[in-house]
Amino acid sequence: MIIAKSQKDMEKMRAVGELIAEVRETLRAMVAPGISTLELNASAEKMMRDAGAIPTFIGYKPRGMSPFPFAICASPNTEVVHGFSTDVPLVEGDIVSLDMACTLNGFVGDTAITIGVGDIGDDLKQLLRVTEECLMLGIEQCWPNKRVGDISAAIQAHGEKHGYGIVRDYTGHGIGRSMHEAPQIANYGRAGTKEKIRAGYCFAIEPMLNVGTHETKTLDDGWTVVTADNKPSAHFEHTVAVTIDGPEILTLTKSQKSEMEKARAAKNAA
Ligand code: MG
């Protein structure tokens, strides 16, 4: 069952969304040659706890798996998702996917970003750009009376247009009091299929695109997912609320929200 959020719940989703967005933007600014993902993880955990939030990933334990040990998933280069933080410094030309979630007042916000370390090549720049575009195209489908398959189809069409492998083994999801609620939101699928979207639903939409094959494998640590062909992968994610006026991205910082407001006002005035 998909849980529609009340106005009160939605306020809490907004608060946690803004907090996790602040964490994401802080990490984005920290990423540079020489920093390790363990340092990024420590900063993220401190920001969450200082704000009175719980790092949702720590101890997260799906059936049959070991508890996840870190506040963020840090997945460089050929890692797709669920990577462990390490003390290995990032180097110029790397990309690193950072996925993070926290729980505040009982509600979860979830976001991910792939960042270039220093100067990255044009091929990687395009991978990052197209993956983020897929995310935004998926979000644009989040209107009442559309269907979950519309989100999936929009992501798939754009990713495949650019020749990328679209990861099938991991999906987006409903989100609220639990990090993973119904429905599953695949990054491939047919428009007009799956659940009807209604106002009050909150979704975590998270396309993962690979330069090569869409296939993945999991390393011996039981968590780290890598591309089957050892080519690079990117991941972008927002938590989004469906309103009667369309999608509202919850995982934006205050300043990102006011920038978007300004852009919308300018567009309306034109
Ligand atoms: Mg997620």
Q: Where are the domains of the chain?
A: 7-269
What distance in angstroms lies between residue 269's CA and the mean position of ligand 1's atoms? 36
What distance in angstroms lies between residue 160's CA and the mean position of ligand 1's atoms? 22
pLDDT band at 248 (very low <50, low <70, confident <90, very high): very high
Q: Is the pLDDT of residue 9 over 90?
A: yes
What distance in angstroms lies between residue 120's CA and the mean position of ligand 1's atoms? 26
What distance in angstroms lies between residue 71's CA and the mean position of ligand 1's atoms? 13
What distance in angstroms lies between residue 268's CA and the mean position of ligand 1's atoms? 33
Q: Where are the alpha helices (DSSP H) in 101-236?
A: 122-139, 148-161
What distance in angstroms lies between residue 50's CA and the mean position of ligand 1's atoms? 22
What distance in angstroms lies between residue 192's CA and the mean position of ligand 1's atoms? 23
- 245-270 average pLDDT score: 93
Is-contact 251 20, C-beta < 8 A? yes
What distance in angstroms lies between residue 266's CA and the mean position of ligand 1's atoms? 32
CATH dotted code for 7-269: 3.90.230.10
Q: What pLDDT does residue 18 have?
A: 98
pLDDT tens across 37-67, in order?
999 999 999 999 999 999 999 999 999 999 9
Q: Dump strand ranges (E) for 117-253.
A: 165-166, 172-174, 181-185, 202-205, 208-210, 216-218, 225-227, 233-235, 238-243, 246-249
What distance in angstroms lies between residue 68's CA and the mean position of ligand 1's atoms? 14
Q: What pLDDT does residue 264 have?
A: 87
Structure-token pair, residue 260: 């978007």
What distance in angstroms lies between residue 173's CA and the mean position of ligand 1's atoms? 7
Q: What pLDDT does residue 186 have?
A: 98
Q: Is the pLDDT of residue 270 over 90?
A: no
What distance in angstroms lies between residue 176's CA and the mean position of ligand 1's atoms? 11
What distance in angstroms lies between residue 29's CA and the mean position of ligand 1's atoms? 22
Integer Cα distance of 100 and 215 in angstroms: 23
- 175-199 average pLDDT score: 98
Helices (H) and strands (E) in the chain, counts: 5, 15
pLDDT tens across 213-222, in order?
999 999 999 9
Neighbours of ion ligand 1 (CB under 5 A): 110, 204, 206
What distance in angstroms lies between residue 180's CA and the mean position of ligand 1's atoms? 7
The overall longest dimension of the chain from CA atoms, in Å, is: 56
What distance in angstroms lies between residue 265's CA and the mean position of ligand 1's atoms? 31
Bridge partner residues of 99 (DSSP): 73, 112
